[in-house]
Amino acid sequence: MSSNGNGADLLLECRSITKSYSGHVVLDGVDFSIRRGEVHALVGENGAGKSTLIKIITGATGRDSGEMVYDGTVVPMDHQRRDAEALGIAVIFQELSLIPGMTVAQNIFLGKEPLRPLTRLIDVRRMNSQAQELIDRYEFPLKPTDIIDDISIAQRQLVEILKALSGKASLMIMDEPTSSLTKTEVEMLFKIIALLKSEGISVLYISHRMEEVYALSDRVTVLRDGRLVKVLDKGEISPEEIIRLMIGHKLEEKAVQHELSPKGGAVVLEVRGLTSLGKFEDLSFDLHEGEVLGIGGLVGSGRTELVRALYGADPYDAGTIRFLGTEWIPSVKKSIENGIGFIPEERRLQGILATQSITRNIGIPNLDRIAPRGIVNVKEEDRRAARGIEMLNVKPPRPEQLVGNLSGGNQQKVVLAKWLVRDLKLIFIDEPTVGIDIGAKEEIYEHIRALSARGVSVILVSSDLPELTRLSDRVIVLRRGRFFREFRECVLTGEKILRAASGIREGDDE
């Protein structure tokens, strides 16, 4: 066994785990351990290396170097997903992995169904009764014969948990399990975690939500930029301390400090009491000409839903919007016609037409200009595409190139180009630089600044704190769909935003 003195009570021990993707180091000599029967939280900013570490533990990806011992067994370098399952490591993913058309029992026992003796036929009655036993044990509001399609997201998460438990898991990994749950559902999940703990099952919990983390955890491991920062014991855990460790010395860097100076020009957008049930509630704010308004908040705080509603992509339930002084009920078509643009959260799923050329991608929101009477003016279409490619420095600069074959950064530039070749008054930008390289990132920042300088108003949603602080003139922080705090005329840091997003109330800062 382990030579380490307390090896006996360690379920998982990782030593100097290193991993890099195409030359970029994402985990740099990380030590990490989980004790038997503890609830352990893993925290860090986006890109700190949390997901990579989880992937290595569950065998979804390999490690470059470092040792792993699980339950006294040395984990080999070619650790695979099914090996992890055999060891007793279960994962509940952000995207659920259930089969929608099948029943609860069928999903729980997928691939390990009880069979009739001497046959390969599934014993449905026994499968359902075994599922019922599991459900009864944890008092979950489920029936073995419920179809997954017909139950709520929270219930589906319970099925995932049962699926893992039916396989005799000794470690349950939950990847941001609360991002799509209501308050009562979160409470229920907490009860379940306590129950798992009482059965001696270790829980590894990855969340951005601070109060949940400190309420639940026995220990917290903080990662930053691919390195282990600190492991906090129960007594040391506080949200302030976790945030301080997550952000670290980056606070002192000039780049993340930003002097906010709200612009006082004409009001472009006036939002009053905007509400979309279950998404956001009673939001009111003004947006001025040429202003970059940053919207901060955790995943699930209603940021994306807010900008989608303002653009007209989704309906809302109550409240009023005024655009340039007149009553405004948005629709995508009206927005585009009136100089409003939208850069969606997920580039591949919502932004690009992968099988179409750069020209066609840039052309699509500009059909009103390149085909005003329904017939495409090819010269105008080519001219706009060429202008977009040049403005954004898209590489390769070939208009006929299919956008699906471009790099992530260049795809995002094309998405931006669609709107920059128009006369804009307002643009909503949601997570503009996720998964793109640093060079393209800086170029995109320049364009956002240039838009603002030209008098175009910008609403920027971002989980990248330095990005939000650098680009914004003013920042509103949402929490659980409600307005939580506004930052104006102060020196803004990522830490302040994160503290507000995590629900820490404090007096007005210096």
Partner 1 sequence: MNKKPIATELRLAIVLVPLMAALTILSPRFLTLDNLTNVIWSVCFIGILSSGAIYPRITGGIDLSLGSMAALSGIVVDLFMNRMGIAWIPAILMTVVIGALVGLFNGFIVAKIKIPAFVVTMAAKTYLYGIALVVSQGAMLAILEPKPFILISTGRFLGLPNPIYIMVALVIASQFLLRRTAFGRQVMAVGSNEVAARLSGVDPDRVRLISYTISGGTSAVGGVILASLTQQVFAAAASGIELDVMTALVIGGTSAVGGRGSVVGALIGAIMVAFIINGLNLLNVPNLYQPIAIGTVIILALLLNEGYLVPKRRTLSRA
Of 59, 302, 363, 466, the one binding partner 1 by CB under 8 A: 363
Q: How far is CA 398 from the centre of its chain?
A: 33
Total chain residues near partner 1 (CB under 8 A) = 28
In the bound state with partner 1, the residue whose beta carbon lies nearer, of 275 and 350, is: 350
What is the smallest separation between the CB atom of 346 and partner 1, expressed in angstroms? 9
Cα separation, 67 vs 57, whole angstroms: 11
Cis peptide before 117 (omega within 30 of 0): no
Q: With contact defined as beta carbons under 8 Å apart, do 502 and 300 qualify?
A: no
Residue 350 makes contact with partner 1 by CB under 8 A: yes
Among 77, 121, 266, 354, binds partner 1 (CB under 8 A): 354
Minimum distance between the CB of residue 155 and partner 1, rounded to whole angstroms?
24
> At its nearest, how many Å lie between partner 1 and the CB of residue 208?
26
- Nearest-angstrom CA–CA distance, 272 and 297: 20
Binding segment for partner 1 among 67-75, 176-184, 357-365, 447-455 (CB under 8 A)?
357-365
Tell me: does residue 8 bind partner 1 (CB under 8 A): no
Q: Which of residues 388-407 bind partner 1 (CB under 8 A)?
A: 400
The verdict on 374 binding partner 1 (CB under 8 A) reads: yes
Q: Does 336 bind partner 1 (CB under 8 A)?
A: yes
Cα–Cα distance for residue pair 476/484, rounded to 1 Å = 8
Q: Is 332 in the site for partner 1 (CB under 8 A)?
A: yes
Residue 33: name the closest of 244, 237, 220, 225 by CA. Answer: 220
With CB under 8 A as the contact rule, the residue among 102, 353, 391, 434 that binds partner 1 is 353
Per-position x/- string for 38-57, each x denoting binding to partner 1 as judged by CB under 8 A, each - no binding: --------------------
Site for partner 1 in 95-134 (CB under 8 A): none
Question: Using CB under 8 A, which of 365, 408, 455, 503 touches partner 1?
Answer: 365
**CB 363 to partner 1: min, Å:** 6
**Least CB distance from residue 396 to partner 1, whole Å?**
8
Query: Should residue 299 be labelled a site residue for partner 1 when binding is judged by CB under 8 A?
Result: no
How far apart (Å, rounded) are the C-alpha atoms in residues 255 and 493? 10
Residue 329 makes contact with partner 1 by CB under 8 A: no
Phi, psi of 326 (to 5 degrees): -115, 155
Stretch that binds partner 1, among 155-163, 217-225, 270-278, 336-344 (CB under 8 A): 336-344
Is there binding between residue 360 and partner 1 (CB under 8 A)?
Answer: yes
CA distances to 65, 71, 188, 303, 394 from 296, in Å: 37, 41, 27, 7, 29
- According to the binding rule CB under 8 A, does residue 351 interact with partner 1? yes
Instruction: Kindly state the tokens that stand for 499.
Output: 């503290």
Q: Does 376 bind partner 1 (CB under 8 A)?
A: yes
Closest distance to partner 1 from the beta carbon of 124 (Å) = 28
- Are the C-beta atoms of 353 and 361 separated by less than 8 Å? yes
| Dist CA 275 CA 102 (whole Å) | 35
Question: What pairing do the DSSP bridges indicate for beta strands 227-233 and 258-259?
Answer: unpaired
Angle between helices 438-453 and 378-392 (to 10 degrees): 110
247, 45 Cβ separation under 8 angstroms = yes
Single residue of 349, 379, 423, 438 touching partner 1 by CB under 8 A: 349
Which residue, 55 or 369, has its beta carbon nearer to partner 1? 369
For 367, list phi and psi in degrees, rounded to 5. Answer: -60, -30
Cα separation, 82 vs 493, whole angstroms: 43
User: Which of residues 180 and 356 has its CB atom nearest to partner 1 in the complex?
Assistant: 356
Stretch that binds partner 1, among 216-224, 258-266, 354-362, 432-440 (CB under 8 A): 354-362
Q: CA nearest 52: which of 28, 72, 35, 36?
A: 28
In this structure, are residues 48 and 41 in contact, taking their beta carbons and an 8 Å threshold? no
Q: What is the length of the chain? A: 510
Contact flag: residue 342 with partner 1 (CB under 8 A): yes
Residue 174 contacts by C-beta under 8 Å, 6 or more apart in sequence? Answer: 92, 193, 203, 204, 205, 206
CA–CA distance, 415 with 352 (Å, rounded to integer): 7
Answer for which of 26, 192, 196, 352 binds partner 1 (CB under 8 A) is 352
Binders in 303-322 for partner 1, by CB under 8 A: 311, 313
Nearest Cα to 465, choosing from 338, 297, 337?
Answer: 297
What is the contact surface with partner 1 in residues (CB under 8 A)? 311, 313, 332-333, 336, 342, 344, 349-356, 360, 363-365, 367-368, 371, 374-376, 378, 400, 418
